[in-house]
């Protein structure tokens, strides 16, 4: 049996964020946490993310399914046509077709993660358009979690990290390859 994760790291990114995500996971250790990637994807988008990311990660990578228990040292990817929430370390999916856009999939997940995990929640905002994730990081900070945003000056699409940083609630502003080390230090410190 795999243990429940010490921390859950939620990564919000745009559909074009594959390079950043790969860079992040090239540097991610096996350290008893789990990762959930919430990307902006159109409902008809057929993702090869699982197969592509598996080449960059030592962790198990899989697409999330409704009712799936979150385990440590795994990466879960949101399906393109779903909203995802977490409760009692279990992922729940609902269809996007019921709600008119814009689909703020990152805020939806970050808010539920804050409520479910509190101080064990870590949010990462990568590049993307718009401000999705901004409301969610406020919830994560209020719950005692940690927030990292990528440096908007080097981001392809700077508005998502810039909006997050403008809240004053981002703990670290880093390039994607430096984030895993910072998360590892934070998790070790929290567990002591």
Q: Above 90 in pLDDT, residue 132?
A: yes
Asked whether residue 1 is assigned to any structural domain, the reply reads no
Query: How confident is the model over 52-91, as pLDDT tens digits?
Result: 899 999 899 999 999 999 999 999 999 988 999 999 999 9
Backbone angles phi, psi at 103, to 5 degrees: -90, 105
Q: What angle do CA 155, 158, 163 make, to 5 degrees?
A: 135
Asked whether residue 3 is assigned to any structural domain, the reply reads no
Query: How confident is the model over 43-55, as pLDDT tens digits?
Result: 666 677 888 899 9
Reduced to 3 states (helix: H, G, I; strand: E, B; else coil), residue 171 is: coil
- Distance from CA of residue 40 to its chain's centroid? 11
What is the tally of structural domains in the chain?
1
Asked whether residue 156 is assigned to any structural domain, the reply reads yes
CATH number at residue 44: 3.40.50.180
Asked whether residue 77 is assigned to any structural domain, the reply reads yes
> Residue 65's domain spans which residues?
8-191
pLDDT at residue 100, rounded to an integer: 67
- pTM of the predicted protein model: 0.94
Asked whether residue 2 is assigned to any structural domain, the reply reads no
Query: How confident is the model over 118-129, as pLDDT tens digits?
Result: 999 999 999 998
Asked whether residue 17 is assigned to any structural domain, the reply reads yes
Q: Above 60 in pLDDT, residue 1?
A: no
Which of the pair, 98 or 125, is modelled with greater confidence?
Answer: 125
Asked whether residue 101 is assigned to any structural domain, the reply reads yes
């Amino acid at each position: 049996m795999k243990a429940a994760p010490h921390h859950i790291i939620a990564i919000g990114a745009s559909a074009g964020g594959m390079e950043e995500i790969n860079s992040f996971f090239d540097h991610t250790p096996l350290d008893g946490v789990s990762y959930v990637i919430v990307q902006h994807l159109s409902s008809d988008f057929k993702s090869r993310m699982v197969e592509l990311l598996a080449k960059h990660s030592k962790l198990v990578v899989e697409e999330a399914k409704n009712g799936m228990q979150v385990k440590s040292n795994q990466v879960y990817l949101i399906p393109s046509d779903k909203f995802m929430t977490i409760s009692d370390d279990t992922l729940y999916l609902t269809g996007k077709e019921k709600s008119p856009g814009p689909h703020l999939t990152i805020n939806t997940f970050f808010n539920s993660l804050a409520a479910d995990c509190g101080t064990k929640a870590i949010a990462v905002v990568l590049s993307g358009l718009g401000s999705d994730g901004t409301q969610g990081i406020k919830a994560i900070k209020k719950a005692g979690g940690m927030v990292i945003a990528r440096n908007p000056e080097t981001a392809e699409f700077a508005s998502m990290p810039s909006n997050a940083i403008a809240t004053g609630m981002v703990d670290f502003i880093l390039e994607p390859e430096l984030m895993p080390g910072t998360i590892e230090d934070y998790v070790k410190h929290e567990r002591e």
